[in-house]
Structure 1
Amino acid sequence: MPAIGLGTWPLRGADAERAVESGIGVGYRLIDTAAKYANEDAVGRGIRSSGVPREELFVTTKLRGSAMVADATREALERSLAALGTDYVDLYLIHWPLPWLGKASAAFLEMAALAEEGLIRSIGVSNFQAQHIERLTAETGLTPAVDQFECDPKIQRHALRAVLAEKGVAAQSWSPLGRGGPLLSDPVVLRAAEATSSTPGQIVLRWHRAQGIVPVAKSASAARQRENLDAIGMPPLPAEILAELDGLDPDDEGERGIRDSDTYEEL
């Protein structure tokens, strides 16, 4: 799995196609989409327009809740593959756990069967909290390859990340740059950027790299895409800067402000 991904939410149509083609052109190899985003067809066009062979790319998409409700995991994957114009995806994630529905484990087992058929290379989850991971592994006997969740220096998710590390589940972050302004204008981030001749966004992405988290960052601008990608190849941040960034959310207080995946109804 590449060390950084290109996110595509909420891009659609020509905007999504151009962003994907541009991102691949500057060097991204992990492209992230979802059935819920309604842009898989545009993402597929961008992939084909890039001219980069499919086998050199790592394509992720996600199973939406309505497919779990209908026990239609296979049909949902087939629709995604058709929209993307590919024979397989590298990573297929359950988009939200919907624990009140009680169907995530059955869907995950079906995903495992589809992986055996070669339609999926790896299976994982998204927005799963520690208790959802525990339930999934207990009910299926399987461990997801990845959990993709909201994370940044102000929402560090220490407890969840500890469980993932214990179980050998790779961590990916969506909105790794903090949904814009407040994080990137934080004095700690700005000081670190000035001290290391980096942009604020590069500081945050280098923090993710130091934590062993794969950031999935959306950008439609080729210049910003290149800036984000360059961050992954920069030297490790000094220990004192990492300590200051870690101090932005030492006790998981930031987690209180995020969407509760125990109750969120993504259908």
Structure 2
Amino acid sequence: MSPVVPTVTLNNGVVIPQLGFGVFQIPDDQTQAAVEHALEAGYRSIDTAALYRNERGVARAVDTSGIPREELFITTKLWNDRQGDVPQAFEESLEKLGTDYVDLYLIHWPAPKQDRYLEAWQAFESLYADGRVRAIGVSNFLPEHLERVVALGGTVPAVNQIEAHPALQQRAAQEADRRHGVATEAWSPLAQAAVLTDDVVTTIAEAHAATPAQVVLAWHRQQGRIAIPKSVTPSRIVENLASVEVTLTDEELARIDGLESGGRTGPDPATFG
């Protein structure tokens, strides 16, 4: 029997599983198998993006799974070069995903040098108003980017998906999210495995008879973040899901908090794009 995955209720009432399955850097021809393994294990939230070029692979897995569409939570993202062309970019993603709506649509990066993300956000609001998207949000938005979106006075983003893991906790971004009622979702929640050999993490894992990855995912969950770990290895896909059964003490959570080092694995949102 699959573990019961907790959920997070977003600021518009939509419910998202707190642990999802990410497909970043999985080639399209391998995505179907990976997502099939994830769905069979019990994941119901799948996170992709136009940039990943594997939306079709996600669609094939969903189709073969036989799981009703309404039982799944599918996220995709708008790439930077389409911020001025949201309606067409969205239709292209829908076609590739083989669905007539997505559960969450995100602006992938603020790309501040372009300075078009506010224009893109207003187009997102139109998609949301038309019922084509159940929730809209942003990704990689620093506090200054989020504040500008909120200042428009319209829809507040439901989610801000940011790089977050023990070595890069982005506390200012998380605090801005909390202040505005935006859920924080962690991409690269395991720092591409870089934090899994840390003595603090491995010691806590031994104490719980858990894997280091399960410990870090439990840390995310207990602090309220949504996390979307990625793996193509069936055993790790199952192990990551089982992290929902691991509960850390307050002292253990604090020890992991102490691993902050500014260890960014991806681009800096202040300059990227």
Normalization by structure 2: what TM-score?
A: 0.92
**Structure 2: distance between partners of 1:261 and 1:159:** 13
Aligned residues: 258
Q: For 1:166-189, what per-residue CA distance to the aligned partner results, in whole angstroms no more than 9, with x for missing partners?
A: 110001011101112x31000000
Q: Which runs of 5+ in 2 are unaligned?
A: 1-15
Among 192, 197, 206, the alignment partner of 2:218 is 206
Asked if 1:66 is matched to 2:66, the reply is: no
By how many angstroms is 1:160 displaced? 1.1
**Structure 2: distance between partners of 1:239 and 1:44:** 40
Asked if 1:248 is matched to 2:263, the reply is: no
**CA spacing shift, 1:57–1:160, aligned 2, 3 Å:** same
Q: For 1:144-202, what per-residue CA distance to the aligned partner results, in whole angstroms no more than 9, with x for missing partners?
A: 0000010001111111111111110001011101112x310000001000011110000
**Structure 2: distance between partners of 1:164 and 1:8:** 24
In the alignment, is the contact (CA less than 8 A) between 1:109 and 1:140 conserved in 2? no
Deviates more, 1:78-87 or 1:253-262: 253-262
In the alignment, is the contact (CA less than 8 A) between 2:191 and 2:265 conserved in 1? no
Among 39, 46, 61, the alignment partner of 1:24 is 39
Normalization by structure 1: what TM-score?
A: 0.94
**Structure 2: distance between partners of 1:111 and 1:49:** 30
By how many angstroms is 1:55 displaced? 0.5
**CA spacing shift, 1:255–1:230, aligned 2, 3 Å:** same
Superposed, which structure 2 residues align to 1:1-267 within 5 Å? 1-68=16-83, 71-180=84-193, 182-234=194-246, 236-249=247-260, 253-254=261-262, 258-265=266-273
More helix by share: 1
In the alignment, is the contact (CA less than 8 A) between 1:3 and 1:232 conserved in 2? no
Q: For 1:78-119, what per-residue CA distance to the aligned partner results, in whole angstroms no more than 9, with x for missing partners?
A: 000000000000000000001121211111111111112121
After TM superposition, the runs of 4+ consecutive aligned structure 1 residues lying more than 3 A away are: 255-258
3-state SS of paired residue (1:217): coil
In the alignment, is the contact (CA less than 8 A) between 2:75 and 2:102 conserved in 1? yes
Q: Which runs of 5+ in 1 are unaligned?
A: none
